[in-house]
Structure 1
Amino acid sequence: MSSTLQIGLAVAGGVVLAAIVAHSAWSSRRNAPRRPDPEPADSVAPALAPALDGERREPGFDDALGALPMPLPADRRSGLDPLIDVIAPIAIDTPVSGDAALAATPSTRRVGSKPFALEGRNSTTQVWETPVAGQRYDALQAGVQLANRTGALNEIEFSEFVMKAQGFADAMNGAPEFPDMREEVARARELDQFASSHDAQLSFTLRAVNAAWSPGYLHQNAARLGFVAGLIPGRMVLPSATPGMPPILGLSFDAQAALAEDPDQSALRSVTLTLDVPQVERAEQPFVRMREAAAALAQAMDGVVTDDAARPLAREAMDVIGSELEQLYDTLDARDLSAGSALARRLFS
């Protein structure tokens, strides 16, 4: 009898233990971050494969340190422009070679926090351009940007510009003509005030409703919408169809999760979708695409779109934002600083 009882207790204990283990495994699976679904190669959307194999990435676009930018699409005002630059003409007696101009160019393309540039008028094409080896130039000019997102050009930066331009002019046996410092600094402050009042960088936050997401799961769903891997961990971008232009949208998440040894075990509870309004052409309809991307990701990943304060964003609120953006675009157009133009990209950087 006791033997039968012991066997019964052992069986019952085993059943309870199995139930506990099963429940634990079920709870673990339920609470684990969602992982990407395996997909046959021929079923992957065109934008997905590059994002997964690492070959297609966010285009480089480094103006912040004054490095030479990647070639941009033709823009009638892609060089120095009196609208946003201080320009000092440099008179020369005879044409100079591009090689000589490059040899005399300062090692840094910055004056304080502002971009510094040198241009020559090509003797053959009569087009102003950054000096190129093998070309000749019959006129020269130096310039510094009046304002950017770090603020307005100040007196110290203007003085540094004069010293840097004068050194280049001396090497070219040229005579620079500088505008009045007080007038240019005042102009810089006015431009900076306008830019500060009409800058717009929008962001939506996509939050998980139930299960968290792994970085791979996010990558898979975002790639289906055309997003590709960014230059830094924890960033994806929706690239422009025009080579060399800034991305239309950005998608960012925890960089540590992206760098984890096992990213599939990293749990993301939120990601941020961003739009740098002045950097993207109006014709791209970036806000419409931002709304569509947010809605598509929320539906596919069981998420909710919120503002920075975690409040759900209703359709009506987004409509208001869209209407205000149209007014902003009109204002920038009227100032000849249309969103996505070369001048706007420089000013709002």
Structure 2
Amino acid sequence: MSTLQWALIGVGLALLVGVWAYHRWQARRWMPRRQRAAVASADTDGADGEAGTGDAQRQEPHLDVPAPAAARPAVAPALLSERLDVIVPLVLERPVTAEAVLQALPGTRRIGSKPFFVEGLPDDAADEAAWEALTPGRRYQQLRVGLQLANRAGPLNEIEFSEFAQRLQHWAEHLQAAVDCPDMMAVVQRARALDAFAAAHDAQLTFTLRARRAAWNPGYVMQHAARLGFVPGSLPGRMVLPASRPGGAPLLVLQFETQAALADDPSLAVLREVRLTLDVTHVPQDEEPYSRLCTLADRLADAMDGWVTDDTGQVLAAEAFDRIGGELGVLYDALRERGFEAGSPDARRLFSG
């Protein structure tokens, strides 16, 4: 054979080897990662001359670890209250799952300005009073729906109740349940009476700290507040004194102008005043929130060279602090007698919204 023929044969063999190598690379590129690692290991062993056909088929070892036992889902306690909600039971033909109920509910859990809640009695409950918030993975033999009678937006009105009754009837049909709504006017009268009580016993105390001479800036205020235990809040220009109990409302709120907090250069923003607020009905009396309010207001005023004043700019004297403290004692007693002790879940729901 001539030299040209041998050269053409060589080129053809080179092309065949190239095509084979390309397809092998493509196959390994799209191979699952775990299988790719096993093939690579087999190739390496074969190159070392230490593995035969059986080694080329070797796979990663499988660890037979027993799966952990299924944990019981965390259960949220009941929230509905006879004092605060109109509660309507749903009589079910058969037990239902939490998932089926939640799927039937709308995305928003409010009707007008009032929140509503759904609770269930578990299928395996031994106590007829063992109501709980719906928990995925659980089955329920009974359901009840509650709509809040009043909050800071006012009492439940006729329009809100009518919408609630219509939605409730729709949910009942979807779940094949029977429902009997109470008389609308009786519910609305309850709501108005509760709202009247709430309006007479709501209290949010605010002390204003005003600069005596030099103005402040946000960084200066936040530095002094942080030394007293305040931490940044969720909104610009807001700091909170955290509760000592998990899940509790902030004991106090410190607030200043949002525009100053969002300024391009906060060090140049000018603050002449900041506000310290206590939402009385949201904080338990045994936390002594009013005493803390007075103490921290004085300490901040001293540290920043300011005055403690009321909303009108009048400097608060010691007699004013004592008078307010006495009025708060009467308020705490009235809330406790009505079943809305300050800081309790019912009180926080009633005085919100």
Which TM-score tier does this pair reach, normalised by the shorter chain? 0.7 to 0.9
- Does structure 2 conserve the Cα–Cα contact (< 8 Å) formed by 1:87 and 1:178? no
Measured against aligned partners, the alpha-carbon deviations of 1:309-334 in whole angstroms (never above 9, x if no partner) come to 10000011010000000000000000
Look up the equivalent residue of 2:143 and give its one-letter code: L
Look up the equivalent residue of 1:235 and give its one-letter code: R
- Does structure 2 conserve the Cα–Cα contact (< 8 Å) formed by 1:106 and 1:164? no
Distance 2:248 2:164 in 1: 28
Given the alignment of the two structures, is residue 94 of structure 1 paired with residue 94 of structure 2, yes or no? yes
Q: CA RMSD in A?
A: 1.2
1:212 CA drift (Å): 1.0
Aligned counterpart for 1:175 among listed residues 167, 173, 178: 178
Measured against aligned partners, the alpha-carbon deviations of 1:83-142 in whole angstroms (never above 9, x if no partner) come to 010011000121111111111112210111100111111223452122121100010011
Look up the equivalent residue of 2:117 and give its one-letter code: A
Given the alignment of the two structures, is residue 147 of structure 1 paired with residue 145 of structure 2, yes or no? no
Determine which structure has greater relative contact order: mean sequence separation of CA pairs < 8 Å that are 6+ residues apart, divided by chain length. 1
Given the alignment of the two structures, is residue 264 of structure 1 paired with residue 258 of structure 2, yes or no? no
Distance 2:186 2:237 in 1: 44
Q: Which runs of 5+ in 2 are unaligned?
A: 1-75
- Does structure 2 conserve the Cα–Cα contact (< 8 Å) formed by 1:88 and 1:178? yes
Name the count of aligned residue pairs: 274
* 1:311-322 correspondence runs (5 A): 311-322=314-325
Look up the equivalent residue of 1:130 and give its one-letter code: A
Look up the equivalent residue of 2:121 and give its one-letter code: R
1:262 CA drift (Å): 1.1
Aligned to 1:301: 304
- Does structure 2 conserve the Cα–Cα contact (< 8 Å) formed by 1:204 and 1:274? yes
- Does structure 2 conserve the Cα–Cα contact (< 8 Å) formed by 1:225 and 1:293? yes
Look up the equivalent residue of 1:204 and give its one-letter code: F
* 1:100-119 correspondence runs (5 A): 100-119=100-119
2:162 counterpart SS class: helix
Aligned counterpart for 1:333 among listed residues 320, 336, 342: 336
Look up the equivalent residue of 2:123 and give its one-letter code: S
Aligned to 1:20: none
Computing the radius of gyration from Cα coordinates, the structure with the larger value is 2
Aligned counterpart for 1:165 among listed residues 168, 173, 192: 168
The alignment-based identity, stated in percent, is 54
Aligned to 1:82: 82
2:205 counterpart SS class: strand
Aligned to 1:137: 140
1:291 CA drift (Å): 0.3
- Does structure 2 conserve the Cα–Cα contact (< 8 Å) formed by 1:105 and 1:168? yes
Distance 1:304 1:244 in 2: 33
TM-score after normalising by structure 2: 0.76
Distance 2:132 2:166 in 1: 22
Aligned to 1:275: 278
* 1:228-243 correspondence runs (5 A): 228-243=231-246
1:248 CA drift (Å): 0.8
